[in-house]
């Protein structure tokens, strides 16, 4: 456990802080959450490397820098309700649980949702609810949300998810295709999206719900 703690501190200092993510609360959360608990046991020794790792079912846990960057872009203060689309391993949700009042995390692959929920429960993340559902359809019955983070890549802005934001809320997600993906932050201002372009990235595609991205 001491070795994991040392590796985790080094991960945060060298891969996240030194790469430009400086929010103290985000850095503290990432020093606290044991990333190795969210990857298969055979990959525990690689858990704190600066890369994505497979978690089964064709999915991955994102590289630590991307998790830190996406979390920092949400600008959480501690009292927000956050929607995460794409629970995956549950690692991002665990980080969010330390920074927000409530997290609703949606995963289309039931086996991953169940595994993530168990890991989060074991780690005491009591303010996270994991739901096995089509994330592209959003969670209108649970909204509105102060922030939405999407960890799979649609080809364009998902209007359904944007409309679940409160006024002034923030949506962080990758947009693109197999050739190019860019991480964006959208802020809801006067009911409309104000966009900022961030960095190149690489995520698995958003599959379910894509046909309803524009509210069709």
Residue 62 annotated as catalytic: yes
How far is 30 from 10, CA to CA, in rounded Å? 11
How far is 135 from 41, CA to CA, in rounded Å? 27
| Average pLDDT over the chain, rounded to an integer | 90
Residue 71 has pLDDT above 50, yes or no: yes
Least confident of 40-44, 64-68, 80-84, 149-153: 149-153
Residue 177 has pLDDT above 80, yes or no: yes
Residue 215 has pLDDT above 50, yes or no: no
Give CA torsion, residues 18, 23, 28, 33, to 10 deg.
-80
Marked catalytic residue, from 62, 89, 97, 105: 62
pLDDT of residue 213: 41
Contact 117, 53 (CB under 8 A): no
Q: Which CATH architecture has domain 50-212?
A: 3-Layer(aba) Sandwich (3.40)
Supply the pTM of this predicted model: 0.91
pLDDT of residue 2: 60
* Token pair recorded at residue 48: 């704190």
| Average confidence (pLDDT) over 116-135 | 95
How far is 147 from 171, CA to CA, in rounded Å? 6
69 band by pLDDT with thresholds 50, 70 and 90:
very high
Spell out the domain ranges in the chain: 50-212
């Amino acid at each position: 456990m001491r070795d994991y703690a040392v590796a985790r501190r080094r991960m945060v200092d060298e891969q996240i802080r030194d790469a430009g993510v400086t929010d103290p609360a985000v850095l503290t959360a990432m020093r606290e959450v044991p990333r190795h608990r969210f990857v298969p046991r055979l990959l525990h020794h690689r858990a704190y490397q600066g890369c994505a790792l497979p978690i089964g079912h064709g999915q991955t846990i994102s590289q630590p820098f991307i998790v830190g960057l996406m979390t920092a872009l949400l600008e959480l203060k501690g009292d927000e309700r956050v929607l995460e689309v794409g629970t995956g391993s549950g690692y991002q949700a665990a980080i969010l649980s330390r920074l927000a009042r409530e997290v609703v995390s949606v995963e289309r692959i039931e086996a991953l949702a169940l595994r993530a929920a168990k890991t989060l429960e074991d780690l005491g993340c009591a303010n996270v609810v994991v739901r096995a559902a089509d994330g592209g359809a959003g969670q209108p019955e649970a909204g509105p949300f102060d922030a939405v983070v999407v960890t799979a890549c649609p080809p364009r802005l998902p209007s359904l998810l944007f409309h679940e934001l409160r006024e002034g809320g923030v949506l962080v997600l990758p947009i693109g295709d197999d050739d190019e993906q860019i991480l964006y932050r959208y802020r809801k201002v006067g009911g409309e999206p104000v966009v900022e372009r961030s960095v190149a990235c690489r995520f698995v595609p958003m599959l379910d719900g894509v046909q309803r991205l524009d509210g069709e």
